């Protein structure tokens, strides 16, 4: 949270209905752009290597990606560490089976007005925020998965590009 406080983020985070700002970031093996995910339901997660709840969320996100990718879900996790090596160390211990991007400058969390780690959001195939989740708690997994299933059933992500 101290990292986000230092980003100079405005007082209010994005909310349901807002347009999700596009971003272009370096990824593990390629450039990651939100615009490339148009037509898919995106679970966008902001995380940091020092974030204890982030360590608990990675296995869950791996399972979500495995379970719902064929239905149109794409998970993108944006790391906000000031040094990418901290993120790579985390990823060696907690491998990601989804798209990971790196924002050492903190531009993307600032654009999304992120106030704490982790923060996740569901983004519609049209690029609108559907839901914002602050923090990660095991007891919230089922409700978030239900939101994902509902969005997919309503056609969000039904026609991946």
Q: In what order do the strands lie in the sheet with 119-123?
A: 31-33, 24-27, 99-102, 73-79, 41-47, 119-123, 129-134
Q: What is the mean pLDDT of residues 29-39?
A: 94
pTM: 0.88
Reference 62, options 40, 77, 47; nearest CA is 77
Pairing of strands 129-134, 41-47: unpaired
Tens of pLDDT, residue by residue over 54-113, are 999 999 999 999 999 999 999 999 999 999 899 999 999 999 999 999 999 999 999 999
Question: Is the dihedral angle over the CA atoms 32, 155, 63, 67 positive or is it negative?
Answer: negative
pLDDT greater at residue 152 or residue 156: 152
Asked if 114 and 4 count as a contact pair (C-beta separation under 8 A), the reply is: yes
Domains of the chain, each with CATH number or no CATH: 2-20+49-152 (3.40.30.10)
Q: Which of 5-19, 37-51, 113-127 has the lowest mean pLDDT?
A: 5-19
CA distance 108 to 102: 10
Structure tokens at 67: 């379970």
* Helix, strand, coil percentages for the chain (3-state, nearest 5): 35, 25, 40
pLDDT at 157: 54
Torsion angle defined by CA atoms of residues 122, 126, 127 and 128, in that order, rounded to the nearest 10 degrees: -60
CA distance 63 to 97: 9
On the question of pLDDT at 4 being above 90, the answer is no
């Amino acid at each position: 949270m101290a990292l986000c406080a230092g980003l100079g983020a405005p007082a209010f985070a994005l909310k349901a209905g807002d347009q999700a700002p596009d971003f272009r970031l370096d990824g593990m093996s390629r450039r990651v752009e939100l615009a490339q995910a148009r037509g898919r339901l995106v679970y966008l997660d902001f995380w940091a290597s020092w974030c204890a709840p982030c360590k608990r969320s990675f296995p869950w996100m791996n399972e979500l990606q495995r379970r719902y990718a064929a239905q149109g879900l794409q998970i993108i996790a944006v790391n906000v560490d000031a040094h990418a090596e901290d993120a790579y160390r985390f990823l060696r211990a907690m491998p990601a089976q989804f798209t990971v991007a790196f924002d050492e400058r903190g531009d993307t969390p600032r654009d999304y007005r992120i106030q704490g780690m982790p923060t996740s959001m569901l983004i519609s195939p049209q690029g609108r925020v559907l839901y914002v989740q602050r923090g990660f708690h095991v007891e919230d997994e089922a409700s978030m998965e239900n939101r994902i299933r509902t969005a997919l059933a309503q056609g969000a992500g039904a026609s991946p590009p």
